[in-house]
Amino acid sequence: MKVLKVSPHIYKLESWFLLKMSAWIVRDDDGVYIVDTGMEFMGKRILKEAEKLGKLKGILLTHGHSDHVGGLKKILDVKKVPVYVHKHEIKYMEGKEPFPGRKKAQSLVPPGLVQPPEESDGGALKNIGNLIPFHTPGHVVYYHEKDRVLISGDLFTSKKGQLKPPIAMFTANMEEAIESARIVKQLNPHIVSICHGDDVEEPHKQIDKYLAQI
Ligand SMILES: [Zn+2]
């Protein structure tokens, strides 16, 4: 597993299993958060790297697909910490309904294990540590304001420094997914950090072209 420093507070852990698989560790004032947990075989190592940097305070998920929640059990077997994902994803992860675009329901976590981030009165998701969650359809992305890094999970892939659409096989509604990239215009991050690809710097320079695909 490769450990890359994305920014002063954010580390990306990269593995390969047919394609690049990543998870993130985000340092806070008094501990660390893990964002996504990769495949099952990545869980132990993610926890080890996280604990080198501080006390684990919680786990945040961008969405419920198995390549993002696979390592969860291995981590929770050792550390009991809260796990957060958007409320809309929980029914799919618990196997109550199939993920959009899939035929069969798949139970990936026991009921009650994963909780939604708190919401303010206006419905916006409250910060978890220094990360601001933003919900896009089928996804949560996490923005670190100080480092200006957008942890984007599967919202994009990339090629040679260019933002590319998410993997079609794992994307229920491609038009909606591309439209969700508008969040980059709103937040203007310095870096978009990508699960199944290399990170992209200064994404504002290419976001209009990206959005013009639809
Ligand atoms: Zn993925």
Where is pLDDT greater, at 99 or 36? 36
**Distance from Cα 67 to the centre of ligand 1, integer Å:** 5
Cα(first)–Cα(last) distance of the chain, in Å? 36
Whether 44 and 76 have beta carbons less than 8 Å apart is answered as no
Report which of 22, 57, 19 is spatially closest to residue 36, judged by C-alpha positions: 22
**Ligand 1 center to residue 107 CA distance, Å?**
17
The alpha carbon of 64 and the centre of ligand 1 are apart by a number of angstroms equal to: 9
Main-chain phi, psi angles of 87, to 5 degrees: -55, -30
Measured in Å, residue 172 CA sits from the centre of ligand 1 at 12
Task: Output the pTM of the full model.
Answer: 0.96
Return the residue matching tokens 């597993």: 1
SS3 209: helix
> Which among 87, 192, 201 is positioned nearest to 144, based on CA atoms?
192
- Half-sphere exposure of residue 206, counting CA atoms within 13 Å on the CB side? 18
Domain range for 7: 2-211
In this prediction, residue 170 carries a pLDDT of 86
pLDDT at res. 203: 98
The predicted model gives 63-90 an average pLDDT of 94
Q: How far is ligand 1, taken at its centre, from the CA of residue 59, in Å?
A: 16
Question: What pLDDT is recorded for position 191?
Answer: 98
**C-alpha of residue 100 to centroid of ligand 1, in Å:** 14
Q: Is 4 helix (H, G, I), strand (E, B) or coil?
A: strand
CATH number for position 21: 3.60.15.10
Report residue 124's pLDDT band, with 50, 70 and 90 as the boundaries: confident
Name the pLDDT band for 56 (thresholds 50, 70, 90): very high
pLDDT at 136: 85
Q: Are strands 131-136 and 2-7 parallel, antiparallel or unpaired?
A: unpaired
pLDDT band at 132 (very low <50, low <70, confident <90, very high): very high
Question: 4-48: per-residue pLDDT in tens?
Answer: 999 999 999 999 999 999 999 999 999 999 999 999 999 999 999
Cα 68 to averaged position of ligand 1 atoms, centre (Å): 6
Å from CA of 125 to ligand 1 middle: 22
Closest CA to 32 of 131, 109, 124, 118: 131
Number of domains in the chain: 1
Q: Which residues line ion ligand 1, judged by CB < 5 Å?
A: 67, 154
Ligand 1 centroid, distance to 75 Cα (angstroms): 19
Task: Look at residue 172 and tell me whether its pLDDT is greater than 90.
Answer: no
* Å from CA of 121 to ligand 1 middle: 31
Question: pLDDT tens across 81-95, in order?
Answer: 999 999 989 999 999
